[in-house]
């Protein structure tokens, strides 16, 4: 997904009852009917005088893409607005808008002759503001791969700091020697002839933001010899960079004039170089490379209200200093429910209706050319004004993911007259401006306080004896909801309370056995018990036998002996494709995997050995039975004989007559319109039927990118699964074909989907799969720690909802899309089976030569009671080794590098050791 280069954020959380359900598409931002469930009134957070007791699903800011409206003038009387006589200001509020803009600059690299004869000087600089640090090292001629070493002491500039034994960090100093006098930051490194050094490697770090800048996703590399292998990150015109004339002089090509012939260079399999080979003669060069940095831009929007003395209407004025064309998406409401509606005219110029529920008005540029403004007249019958802002073509600005809300004064609540009297009355409508961070912090502290209160209440001996098990379970479910609530706020753009508080909230519901030994572990559809271990019970070829259910039934006891608690079965329905992912008649469960009776039989067999069963539910799309009059396959048969109203309108292949999609379309089959009530009703009945008729315990949900997560919440509430996990498969971030280190945007999209389900479902941690893949394939284990020292996938943000995996039917088997690095599978399982989250094991790996190793690691996990909320302490995340301690019970390392768990109060003993991985247990 391509985000706008401008993103805005606010530091305040308001009510959540707003419809943000069409990500990256035409979205309706209007309030829907409140959920009947409400949290206890543990905090009344007010910006204006309205209650906020139903806040139970705080959405993070999401930039929405809207189709640009064609502006048509409504019946508008601008003269009326301009001539209105009004009294003093009754309301005036300025809202800060902190936008993030992408500023482009350049990194330059120059190599030229030093002051001393025979010496050279390498200059690295950047013309963007910031506190820049050069993180650098050298490669030696006998190094293998991309290893770094510390440079000789005489090369290290003053003020540098050594980073362990392989790098140096040198602060870049300000300079202004360019032709235009521009200020930039640079580092100069003296190079002396040295036959052992083959290249200088570096990356840039902005100490103010903690951001790292690489070249095409990899380290910059300046070659000092001519026999380096072709590499995409080598700096030099021979590698195809684009160049511009620089401020420091003309660009000259880097000429590596080798004084040795090819016969003198060994090119064996190890990549080593004969140490006797002499370095090449260098000539200077100058290269400029583009760089982009996010900077904070502070803007605001001011809203004021006056009362017209002639008409008694409210005159509302909005002004903003934001640049560019700003569109106001607005409406009014009549009561505290805040249902959007369109007020009667006249309306401001350049106003157009949006779906008969809101208006869109283009703000007019102010005379001074700075910002824009609009003025409108609203009747006394309305109690509030609601709006969001659209900047440019794709960026929507809201108030922490919610609509701006402005209370409108009425004649009964305000007395026009003395200014002091007015101020008192306005105070009844508006609280004094408070520090937003403190307000939000107080609110989140209220959530944590409520969780602690509930935990104390249910943990006390007296209450445990007096409360029924049902009442205790109800309280624990409430704690789970509050924990998800706290997490959602924590993941907003400006965190307002510590990660430790979130961990405490999650830990409060780790297991019922902690608080209530007499009760079984708490079960939630998003986590199961929290101790689940999932097996994918098929691959892409499993349908070919025609009796897969019976073959799997024979393995039920063996799978139970390994320690699996949940198994995921293939899609059960009749399907156009034999694998089952192009369903046709949802109630026909005779598939290529077996008959409906065989399906019931295998489910029963797994239940008998204590394993729960997940059905693979394909809800996003469905293949039609018949063509319409235009020859398009969009009419359905079977028990659910839908017509084209069940198909989304914005998929051009199937001529649907439903609403637009709430997600991304899967173009191979008609995409189902889940906004249709009859569709949701039928799907809920089908899921309940599968639970009762087949005995499924939960769901693996296919292609959930195709529809809003709120619909999933509805389906799960109706079918009450033991466990549910969604396949939100999204592309990771790459630069010039190299995976970026920072994948926060990717995992944020997965977390946003989980949050849309209100935490009722987990999601496959595709982020962790991708980062593990890249780290092991390239021996870059530093990728396994994010900028805050946490696991870099969903695992690091919302571990209880992360279902980790290294391979599945799409990536493995004969499909082989993004197959895990061969021979390194056990390193992947040593990571996922020891870390929090819910680990999944692929069938092909389990029944291979890895069987005994996987079984051993599973037994280690179960023996030490590692669960989906376990804690991770990352001890090492370096070039060739990653190591961590989990729950202070297990230590593990992967990679060829060295690690031993620290000796102290715990004694560590080796539990298993294999190729480039090792796991210890604390005794």
| Count of other CB atoms within 10 angstroms of residue 152 | 13
- Are the beta carbons of 481 and 469 closer than 8 angstroms? no
Cα 862-867-873 angle, rounded to 5 deg: 105
The average pLDDT across 310-327 equals 88
Reported as a pLDDT band with limits 50, 70 and 90, residue 396 is confident
The average pLDDT across 86-99 equals 77
DSSP state letter for 540: T
Please choose, from the candidates 901, 877, 912, the residue with its C-alpha nearest in 3D space to the C-alpha of residue 771: 877
d(CA 742, CA 287): 25
Residues 399-451 have pLDDT tens digits of: 766 788 899 886 544 433 333 333 333 333 333 333 444 444 444 555 565 56
Integer CA distances (angstroms), 486 to 493, 725, 790, in order: 14, 21, 19
| Count of other CB atoms within 10 angstroms of residue 626 | 12
| Burial state string for 702-734 with b = 16 or more CB within 10 A and e = fewer than 16 | bbbbbbbbbbbbbbbebbebbbbbbbbbbebee
Secondary structure class of 422 (helix, strand, coil) = helix
Residues 193-231 have pLDDT tens digits of: 766 788 888 888 888 777 778 776 678 888 887 644 555
Instruction: Output the six-digit token pair for 438.
Output: 């403190």
- Please tell me the predicted confidence (pLDDT) of residue 916: 96
φ/ψ of 99, rounded to 5, equals -95, 150
- Are the beta carbons of 699 and 738 closer than 8 angstroms? no
Contacts of 161 (CB under 8 A, 6+ apart): 168, 169, 170
User: Which amino acids are annotated catalytic?
Assistant: 702, 727
Integer CA distances (angstroms), 207 to 134, 170, 787, in order: 10, 12, 12
Secondary structure class of 233 (helix, strand, coil) = coil
Q: Locate all alpha helices (DSSP H) within 125-250, ordered by sequence.
A: none
Contacts of 916 (CB under 8 A, 6+ apart): 824, 827, 894, 895, 896
DSSP state letter for 672: B
Residues 457-489 have pLDDT tens digits of: 555 555 555 656 666 666 666 666 666 656 555
d(CA 528, CA 276): 63
The residue with tokens 């001393």 is 116
Statement: residue 603 has pLDDT above 70: yes
d(CA 210, CA 781): 19
Residues 526-585 have pLDDT tens digits of: 999 999 999 999 999 999 999 999 999 999 999 999 999 999 999 999 999 999 999 999
φ/ψ of 447, rounded to 5, equals -65, -50
Integer CA distances (angstroms), 147 to 15, 167, 267, 898, in order: 52, 10, 18, 15
Q: Which of 56-60, 171-175, 412-416, 605-609 reaches the highest mean pLDDT?
A: 605-609
Task: Name residue 700's beta-bridge partners.
Answer: 616, 725
d(CA 233, CA 361): 48
Residue-level length of the chain: 923
Q: Which of 112-126, 283-297, 320-334, 702-716 reaches the highest mean pLDDT?
A: 702-716
d(CA 188, CA 173): 9
d(CA 810, CA 818): 8
Please choose, from the candidates 881, 864, 883, 861, the residue with its C-alpha nearest in 3D space to the C-alpha of residue 872: 883
- Please tell me the predicted confidence (pLDDT) of residue 795: 95
- Are the beta carbons of 770 and 728 closer than 8 angstroms? no
* Structure-model confidence comparison of residues 494 and 696, the more confident one: 696
Please choose, from the candidates 614, 425, 527, the residue with its C-alpha nearest in 3D space to the C-alpha of residue 802: 527
- Are the beta carbons of 274 and 265 closer than 8 angstroms? yes
- Helices 709-719 and 677-693: crossing angle in degrees, nearest 10, is 40
H or E stretch including 8? strand 7-9
Instruction: Output the six-digit token pair for 213.
Output: 């800048």
DSSP state letter for 409: P
d(CA 354, CA 70): 11
- Please tell me the predicted confidence (pLDDT) of residue 744: 94
β-strands 698-701, 723-726 pairing: parallel
- Please tell me the predicted confidence (pLDDT) of residue 8: 35
- For the chain, the first-to-last Cα distance in angstroms comes to 47
The average pLDDT across 278-302 equals 77
β-strands 384-391, 395-397 pairing: antiparallel
Instruction: Output the six-digit token pair for 574.
Output: 């009749």
To the question of pTM greater than 0.75 for the whole model, the response is no
- Please tell me the predicted confidence (pLDDT) of residue 888: 93
Please choose, from the candidates 632, 639, 638, the residue with its C-alpha nearest in 3D space to the C-alpha of residue 647: 632
- Please tell me the predicted confidence (pLDDT) of residue 473: 63
- Please tell me the predicted confidence (pLDDT) of residue 134: 92
d(CA 676, CA 681): 9
- Please tell me the predicted confidence (pLDDT) of residue 890: 97
d(CA 248, CA 241): 18
CA torsion through residues 816, 817, 822, 825, sign = negative
Please choose, from the candidates 631, 15, 71, 846, the residue with its C-alpha nearest in 3D space to the C-alpha of residue 390: 71
User: Percent of the chain scored above 70 by pLDDT?
Assistant: 70
Task: Name residue 203's beta-bridge partners.
Answer: 135
Query: Among 322-331, 335-344, 438-447, which stretch is predicted with the lowest mean pLDDT?
Result: 438-447
d(CA 534, CA 699): 12
Q: Is the peptide bond before 862 cis (omega within 30 degrees of 0)?
A: no
Statement: residue 593 has pLDDT above 80: yes
d(CA 205, CA 488): 29
**Side-chain-side CA neighbours of residue 298 (13 Å):** 3
Instruction: Output the six-digit token pair for 820.
Output: 């895990």
φ/ψ of 604, rounded to 5, equals -60, -40
- Are the beta carbons of 342 and 359 closer than 8 angstroms? yes
φ/ψ of 215, rounded to 5, equals -115, 115
The average pLDDT across 285-312 equals 85
Residues 864-918 have pLDDT tens digits of: 999 999 999 999 999 999 999 999 999 999 999 999 999 877 899 999 999 999 9
The average pLDDT across 743-756 equals 94
**Side-chain-side CA neighbours of residue 110 (13 Å):** 20
The average pLDDT across 136-164 equals 82
Residues 347-372 have pLDDT tens digits of: 999 999 887 778 999 998 877 667 89
d(CA 108, CA 124): 6
DSSP string over 815-865: T-TTPPPTT-HHHHHHHHTTSSSEEEEEHHHHTSTTHHHHHHHHHHHHHTT
- Are the beta carbons of 136 and 167 closer than 8 angstroms? yes
CA torsion through residues 377, 380, 382, 387, sign = positive
Statement: residue 739 has pLDDT above 70: yes
The residue with tokens 């910002």 is 371
Residues 766-816 have pLDDT tens digits of: 999 999 999 999 999 999 999 999 999 999 999 999 999 999 998 987 777
Burial class, 588, CB count within 10 angstroms (exposed 0-12 / middle 13-18 / buried 19+)? middle
């Amino acid at each position: 997904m391509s985000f706008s280069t401008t993103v805005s954020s606010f530091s305040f959380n308001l009510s959540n009852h707003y419809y943000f359900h069409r990500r990256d598409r035409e979205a309706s931002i209007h309030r829907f009917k409140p959920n009947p469930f409400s949290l206890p009134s543990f905090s009344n957070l007010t910006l204006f005088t309205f209650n906020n007791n139903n806040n139970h699903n705080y959405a993070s800011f999401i930039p929405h893409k809207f189709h640009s409206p064609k502006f048509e003038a409504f019946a508008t009387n601008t003269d009326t607005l301009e001539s209105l006589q009004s009294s003093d200001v009754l309301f005036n509020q300025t809202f800060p808008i902190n936008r993030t803009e992408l500023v482009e600059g350049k990194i330059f690299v120059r190599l030229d002759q030093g002051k001393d004869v025979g010496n050279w000087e390498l200059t690295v600089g950047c013309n963007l503001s910031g506190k820049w640090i050069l993180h650098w090292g050298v490669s030696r001629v006998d190094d293998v791969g991309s290893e770094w070493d510390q440079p000789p002491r005489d090369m290290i500039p003053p003020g540098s700091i050594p980073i362990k034994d392989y790098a140096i960090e040198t602060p870049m100093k300000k300079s202004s020697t360019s032709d235009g006098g521009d200020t930039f930051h640079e580092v100069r490194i003296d190079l002396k002839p040295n036959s052992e050094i083959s290249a200088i490697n570096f990356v840039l770090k902005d100490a103010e933001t903690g951001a790292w800048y690489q070249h095409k996703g990899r380290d910059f590399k300046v070659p000092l010899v001519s026999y380096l292998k072709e590499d995409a990150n080598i700096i030099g015109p021979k590698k195809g960079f684009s160049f511009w004339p620089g401020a420091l002089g003309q660009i000259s090509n880097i000429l590596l004039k080798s004084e040795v012939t090819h016969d003198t260079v060994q090119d064996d399999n190890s990549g080593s170089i004969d140490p006797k080979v002499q370095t090449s003669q260098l000539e200077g060069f100058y290269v400029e490379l583009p760089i982009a940095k996010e900077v904070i831009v502070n803007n605001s929007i001011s809203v004021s209200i006056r009362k017209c003395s002639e008409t008694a209407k409210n005159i509302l004025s909005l002004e903003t200093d934001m640049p560019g064309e700003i569109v106001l998406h607005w409406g009014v409401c009549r009561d505290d429910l805040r249902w959007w509606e369109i007020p009667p005219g006249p309306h401001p110029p350049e106003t157009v209706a949006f779906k008969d529920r809101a208006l869109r008005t283009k703000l007019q540029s102010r005379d001074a050319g700075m910002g824009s403004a609009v003025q409108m007249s609203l009747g006394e019958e309305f109690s509030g004004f609601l709006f969001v802002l659209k900047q440019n073509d794709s960026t929507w600005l809201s108030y922490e993911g919610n609509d701006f809300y402005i209370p409108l004064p009425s004649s009964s609540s305000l007395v026009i007259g003395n200014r002091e009297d007015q101020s008192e009355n306005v105070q009844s409508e508006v609280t004094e401006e408070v520090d937003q961070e403190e307000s939000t912090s107080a609110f989140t502290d209220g959530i944590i306080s409520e969780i602690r209160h509930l935990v104390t209440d249910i943990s006390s001996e007296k209450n445990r004896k007096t409360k029924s098990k049902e009442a205790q379970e109800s309280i624990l479910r409430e704690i789970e909801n509050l924990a998800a609530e706290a997490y959602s706020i924590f993941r907003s753009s400006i965190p307002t309370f510590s990660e430790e508080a979130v961990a405490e909230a999650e830990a409060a519901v780790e297991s019922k056995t902690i608080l209530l030994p007499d009760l079984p572990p708490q079960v939630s559809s998003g986590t199961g018990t929290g101790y689940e271990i999932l097996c994918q019970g098929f691959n892409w070829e499993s349908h070919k036998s025609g009796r897969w259910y019976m073959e799997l039934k024979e393995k039920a006891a063996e799978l139970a002996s390994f320690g699996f608690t949940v198994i995921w079965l293939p899609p059960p329905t009749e399907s156009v494709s034999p694998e089952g992912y192009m369903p046709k008649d949802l109630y026909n469960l005779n598939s290529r995997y077996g008959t409906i009776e065989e399906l019931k039989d295998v489910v029963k067999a797994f239940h008998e050995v204590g394993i729960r069963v997940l059905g693979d539910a394909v809800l996003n799309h469905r293949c039609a039975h018949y063509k319409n009059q235009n020859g398009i396959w969009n009419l359905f048969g079977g028990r659910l004989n839908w017509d084209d109203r069940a198909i989304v309108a914005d998929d051009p292949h199937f001529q649907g007559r439903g609403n637009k999609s709430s997600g991304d379309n899967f173009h191979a089959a008609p995409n189902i319109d889940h906004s249709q009530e009859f569709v949701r009703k039928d799907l809920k009945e089908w899921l309940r039927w599968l639970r009762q008729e087949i005995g499924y315990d939960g769901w693996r949900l296919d292609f959930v990118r195709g529809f809003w997560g709120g619909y999933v919440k509805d389906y799960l509430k109706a079918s009450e699964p033991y466990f549910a996990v969604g396949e939100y498969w999204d592309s990771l971030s790459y630069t010039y074909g190299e995976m970026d280190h920072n994948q926060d945007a990717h995992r944020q999209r997965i977390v946003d989907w989980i949050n849309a389900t209100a935490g009722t479902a987990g999601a496959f941690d595709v982020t962790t799969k991708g980062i593990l893949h890249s780290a092991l394939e390239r021996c870059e284990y530093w990728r396994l720690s994010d900028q805050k020292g946490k696991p870099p996938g969903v695992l690091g943000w919302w571990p209880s909802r992360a279902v980790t995996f290294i391979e599945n039917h799409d990536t493995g088997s004969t499909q082989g899309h993004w197959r895990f690095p061969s021979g390194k599978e056990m390193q992947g399982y040593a990571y996922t089976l020891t870390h929090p989250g819910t680990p999944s094991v692929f069938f092909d790996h389990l029944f291979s030569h890895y069987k005994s190793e996987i079984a051993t690691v599973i037994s280690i996990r179960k023996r030490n009671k590692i669960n989906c909320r376990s804690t991770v302490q990352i001890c090492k995340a370096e070039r060739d080794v990653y190591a961590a301690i989990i729950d202070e019970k297990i230590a593990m390392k992967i990679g060829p590098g060295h690690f031993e768990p620290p000796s102290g109060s715990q004694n560590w003993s080796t539990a298993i050791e294999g190729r480039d991985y090792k796991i210890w247990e604390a005794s």
